[in-house]
Chain A
Amino acid sequence: MLSKRRLLSFAAGVALVAGAAFAAGPASAQQTLRWAFQGNLNTLDPYGINETTTLGLQGNVYEGLTKRGKDLKIIPGLAERWEVLDNGLRWRFYLRKGVKFHNGNDFNADDVVFSATRVLANNSQLSSRLSGSPEFVKVDDHTVDVKLKSPNPILHYAWDTWYIMDKEWTEANGAAIPPAPQATTPGFATINANGTGPFRITEHQLGVRTVFEKNPNWWGTVEHNLDRVVFTPITSAPTRVAALLSGEVDVIDPVPLQDVPRINASANARVLEGPEVRTIYLSFDQMRPELTASSVKGKNPFKDVRVRKAFYQAIDIEAIRRQVMRGAAVPAASLISPLFFPQISQIQRHPFDLAAANRLLDEAGYPRTGGADGVRFEVDLDCPNDRYVNDGPICQAVTAMLARVGIKINLQAVPRAAFFAKVNSPIYNTPFYLLGWTPGTGDGHNVLIDLMHTRKADGSGGRGQFNNGGFSNARVDALTDLVLVENDTAKRDAMLLEAFKILHDEVGYIPLHQQALAWGTGKNVELTQRADNQPLFYWVTKK
């Protein structure tokens, strides 16, 4: 009897709690946006990791001196305006007045100087935002001078993701230096945030959910109608799609391409597709005297421009766009998106031409062995299978296409962790590989210095860091340095274009395409999908 009574009282208790939960739920008419992404938000520290989605999410909370508009144009952020003085050796930034951090502290020049020190500190992952280590000097509470050793016309290009932190808050909580990767205690700023942005973080459960709430005191013009945003990681792609279709989330990022028709056919959701700025490309080892994994011994076929061009012309980019990418890609002729560098459209892809490719390979001295369908040579292709949109299938298609000109590709498609460990190595570790690149600054110079400049033999010096095939051209190297200090935009653009033209003629890389962004949204959600793929809540309206 007793047990029965206990059971009853327990049931009553459960009912009460459940009732309370129900009552709390729909009572307020708050507008909540539920955003699901495939990965976690691992750190709230704005200098913790240099990765698009993390920086994008942080960008709802923190702000930089500059921002980028819906079209990626640089616009004023925490700095109202700026001017370049002393022939480009001094920049003066006029800070916005009356801006407050979420904890109520005032934003002023001290915060900017502090943030400059912190972003350059050891363990900061965003030190490239202030390349050349410029000196920050406070002029008055709302004016900051930046002194440079040499002119740098793109000084502020990546400052939209160099977020300004509150000096007092950060220092008071012992977070003045970003935590080391091997730190034994989590940094305070890793799990707490205090920015000036349109949203503040009120709950952060790592890997489970992060809740953003509207900052009622934001300085800017509010273009959204949200009160709360709940960010949830959903790793499994089918679950993400199901959650969107059942209306449990409002936005999913990304949508698997094969699910696009299904979502568009549903009553309450649709897919937003737009061009992304990341360029997917193939490249080859042009450095080693002999390839690491190939049937050609004693020499490196990729040192011959005819072989490189033959590979290029054997790839039917239109078929990849149509079949593998289901239309969600823009074929690229170079390593930078026209969204960042419109002049690049003057370069046209080498045409797809099997006959030309066969002829070039014959001329280069790699005849087919064993008849008209014989193999010329074998080589490995290193490829990630979980990093870019349909990366594995792209490599399979390339394998099939090159087989038609007698190249036998041994495809090594592996998960990204293993892939990057192999390919992004100081030694030239891969004979032929697929990779993607987004210039962090949104400027061509980044592509030149990271992908096209000659790399030192031991990988040091910070040039050609990701030039994993060892492309090397003296004129491109010279242009890299010239571009950096050229203040005249027209001349600068001409130099960039010259470098990209050399790369095109030398076939140092095989650019494939800019993949498309695909987000799924509820039909009651209006948002701006910027081409850099940042999840920005301040342009979202929900009906």
Chain B
Amino acid sequence: MLAFIIRRIGQALIVLLTVALISFSLFRFVGDPTQQMVGQDTTLEERLQIRKNLGLDDPVIVQFGRFVGNAALFNFGNSYQNRQPVAKLIGERFPATMELAFVSALFALFAGIPMGVYTGLKPNAALSRLFQTVSLVGVSLPTFLIGILLIFIFSVSLGLLPSFGRQGVVKFSYWSTSFLTWEGWRSLILPSITLGLFQMTLIMRLVRSEMMEVLRTDYIKFAKARGLTARAVNFRHALKNTLIPVITITGLQLGSIIAFAIITETVFQWPGMGLMFLQAVQTVDIPIMAAYLLLVATLFVLINLIVDLLYVAVDPRIRLSGKAA
């Protein structure tokens, strides 16, 4: 087990280095950060001096080496635009993104599973067809469009929910939360639906097909023959067996939820890391971009590692074959 973890951590480091290298070679094409840092009256000499001071004229490989060396010490430099440490900026934005991702994932699970079960059990019911249509919308419409549609229905037309921002925030030393106030929850509703809709439809479709598959198996027929109630058959026997792939997918999708939050956060002006990243791209704020990409890569690697470990813990077959190898 320990060897397995060490091997995986070694692989993770390689992944992170690769991500950092690729992002660094891309940064040369986003533009010149100094153009965004100074006003129009700044002379060319001053601009060139700033470039030199920032080390932007060094070869990519030198810049990369410097970045990796500093990152190993958890020093991600200062934002060009905000002139503040990147670690601090990301730390301030991290809770907003994580809370949004968390609520979205819960929404995806607790709306997706019942809808999936229902459509699996009654594939021809009118409600099932409705759910299927909604899921098509969720899969095919781009996130920003869903967000704007929700804003125009629930904020502009009905005036029920706020259209932007994270409100009712309560601050602790290292964390800020919007879970403790009514306002906070209200402002969470639209963004988390927008962000979680794709995952919800994914889970719904997965549960539906798994349910239909499981319902055809012999042990379900046997359970029915034993005279168990429909409820016991459907939920205790069938649903339980469909949940293994659902848990896997949910775990893996958590990473995408955090990464895809970029668009949702921009549409709803949600003050998370994704919004900061997008603004950093527009202003060529390389330290923020680099640190964010590395953080997202780390999250993905971590989640994958945990899922792998859970596999080993849950599924005896993997454990056995692992030992044999």
Contact = CB atoms under 8 A, between A and B. Distances in A.
B182 A49 contact: no
Interface in A394-451: 415-421, 424, 426, 437-438, 440, 450
Contact of A246 (B32, B42, B92, B155): B155
Interface in A165-213: 179-187, 190-191, 205-209
B151 interface: yes
Contacts of A51: 39
Interface residues of A, number: 63
A234 interface: yes
A426 B44 contact: yes
Interface of B: 29-45, 48, 50, 53-54, 77-78, 80-85, 89, 92, 144, 148, 151-152, 155-156, 159, 162-166, 168, 170, 180-183, 266-269, 271, 275-276, 278-279, 282-284
B42 A50 contact: yes
Nearest to B37: A181
B83 A179 contact: yes
Contacts of B31: 415-421
A532 to B, nearest CB: 14
Contacts of A207: 82, 271, 275-276, 279
A161 B75 CA distance: 36
23 contacts: A17-B180, A18-B181, A18-B182, A21-B168, A42-B81, A42-B82, A49-B39, A50-B38, A182-B54, A190-B83, A190-B84, A207-B276, A234-B164, A235-B278, A238-B148, A242-B156, A246-B156, A246-B163, A418-B31, A420-B31, A421-B32, A440-B40, A466-B40
B83 to A, nearest CB: 5
B29 A386 contact: no
Interface string A43-58: 1000011110000000
Given A239-B164, A239-B269, A418-B30, A181 B50 contact: yes
A473 B243 CA distance: 77
A49 B43 contact: no
A289 B231 CA distance: 84
Contacts of A437: 40
Contacts of B180: 14, 17
A505 B78 CA distance: 49
Contacts of B159: 246-247
A233 interface: yes
Contact of A386 (B34, B39, B155, B282): B282
B181 A180 contact: no
Interface of A: 14, 17-18, 21-22, 40, 42-43, 48-51, 125-126, 128, 179-187, 190-191, 205-209, 232-236, 238-239, 242-243, 245-248, 386, 415-421, 424, 426, 437-438, 440, 450, 459-460, 462, 465-466
Contacts of A182: 50, 53-54, 78
The 4 A-B residue pairs whose C-beta atoms are closest, nearest first, are A50-B39, A417-B31, A421-B32, A18-B182
A119 to B, nearest CB: 12
Contacts of A420: 31-32, 35-36
Given A181-B80, A181-B83, A49 B44 contact: no
Contacts of B85: 184-186
A417 B42 CA distance: 16
Given A49-B39, A50-B38, A125-B38, A243 B271 contact: no
B267 A239 contact: yes
A236 B279 CA distance: 11
A44 to B, nearest CB: 11
B151 A248 contact: no
Contact of A49 (B38, B84, B183): B38
Given A209-B165, A416-B35, 14 more contacts: A49-B37, A125-B42, A128-B41, A186-B78, A235-B278, A236-B269, A239-B148, A239-B267, A242-B151, A245-B156, A247-B159, A417-B283, A426-B44, A438-B40
Nearest to B182: A18
A234 B270 CA distance: 9
A453 to B, nearest CB: 13
Contact of B53 (A17, A179, A180, A190): A180
Nearest to B77: A184
Chain A interface, DSSP helix/strand/loop, else mixed = loop
A438 B85 CA distance: 33
Contacts of B144: 236
Nearest to B84: A186
A21 B183 contact: yes
A186 B87 CA distance: 13
Contacts of B34: 181
A462 B79 CA distance: 28
Contacts of A248: 155, 162-164
A137 B323 CA distance: 84
Nearest to B158: A246
Nearest to A239: B164
Contacts of B276: 207
A187 B48 CA distance: 22
Contacts of A48: 83
A181 B285 CA distance: 12
B53 A181 contact: yes
Contacts of B155: 242-243, 246, 248
B266 A235 contact: yes
Contacts of B77: 184
B81 to A, nearest CB: 5
A450 B80 CA distance: 26
A128 B43 CA distance: 10
Contacts of B148: 238-239, 242
A242 B42 contact: no
Nearest to B78: A184
Given A18-B181, A242-B156, A462 B82 contact: no
A144 B123 CA distance: 85
B52 to A, nearest CB: 10
A450 B181 CA distance: 53
A125 B39 contact: yes
A245 B45 CA distance: 46
Contacts of B164: 232, 234, 239, 242-243, 248
A21 B30 CA distance: 43
B45 to A, nearest CB: 6
A446 to B, nearest CB: 8
A40 B279 contact: yes
Contacts of B268: 239
Contacts of A418: 29-31
Contacts of B271: 205, 207-208
Contacts of B32: 417, 420-421
A235 B83 contact: no
Nearest to A386: B282
A246 B39 CA distance: 35
Nearest to A458: B44
A251 to B, nearest CB: 14
A173 to B, nearest CB: 15
A206 B282 CA distance: 17
Contacts of A179: 83
